[in-house]
Amino acid sequence: MYVDAHIHLYADEFDMDREEVLKDAYRNDVELILSVSEDYETSIKNLDILRIYRPRYKIYLGLGIHPYTAIYNPDDLTKTVELISQYHDTIIAIGEVGLDKKYPDAMKYWDRQVEAFEKMIQLSIEYFKPLNIHSRRAAKDVLSLLRKYDVKLAYFHWYTDDEETLKEIVEEGYYVGFTPALLTSKRIQRYTEIVPLTQVFTESDGPVRYYGPLKNSRGEPKHIPLIVNKLAELYEVEVEEAIIVIRENFKRLFRLQYG
């Protein structure tokens, strides 16, 4: 049983064939799927997806404010906070949330990002929900805020920042996600020398597109076995062992009693 710990099932690209994507996931033994949100609208859409497809598929939800939303649509913060409070028993994560320094207006509206992220952290603590974190070019800043609030439950999705910060993230006990970028990026492959397998998640980040063997294909859960095969090679373990460890990581962080 494989894990896709970060996908955007609400995305327009999945509107025509969402159920086929889920069927393909199950055909490839990807049974634990966490769909994250970016704003109020995508949070609502994800909640609708959950109602439609559960219990046929083991879909789980994260609701939250993405850094892009914090910058360009700050009015969504209040509405999304209310939604999380309303559905905190339904979701398993607060996400996708965090900080980003790559957007053109990232530093101009840095205070908006920090305000939104701090609010998401507070909700995470209040409802005991792990954070699903976006940290592009801002991992040090994210880590600083997690330490400020003494956050215990966090998952850095598709980490791409420096190795020294990654070492600190691992020391704090946080989890780190690997996407199909692992198949082609030597830099990301080196991260496996820092992150123990017991702190690893796999994710498609669908419908993001990748290079290498998945060129011209959108990311989907069915690609997770490719990531696990590469992880098994890099960690020098059997594929079955990698599958079991990653599944247990997911169940442990999100406090799942089955799956």
Nearest to 97 by CA among 87, 82, 112: 112
What pLDDT is recorded for position 51? 97
Count the neighbouring beta carbons within 10 Å of the beta carbon of residue 125: 16
Supply the pTM of this predicted model.
0.97
What domains does the chain contain, in order, with CATH numbers?
A: 2-253 (3.20.20.140)
Structure tokens at 192: 């496996």
Residues of the chain with pLDDT under 70: 257-259
By the 8 A CB rule, do 28 and 228 touch?
Answer: no
By the 8 A CB rule, do 129 and 92 touch?
Answer: yes
Nearest to 208 by CA among 3, 5, 44, 8: 8
Cα–Cα dist 198/140, whole Å: 22
By the 8 A CB rule, do 33 and 59 touch?
Answer: yes
Cα–Cα dist 6/96, whole Å: 9
3-state secondary structure of 80: helix
Cα–Cα dist 5/8, whole Å: 10
Phi first, then psi, for residue 100 (nearest 5°) are -150, 130
What pLDDT is recorded for position 259? 45
What pLDDT is recorded for position 6? 98
pLDDT per residue over 24-40, tens digit each?
Answer: 999 999 999 999 999 99
By the 8 A CB rule, do 67 and 134 touch?
Answer: yes
What pLDDT is recorded for position 258? 53
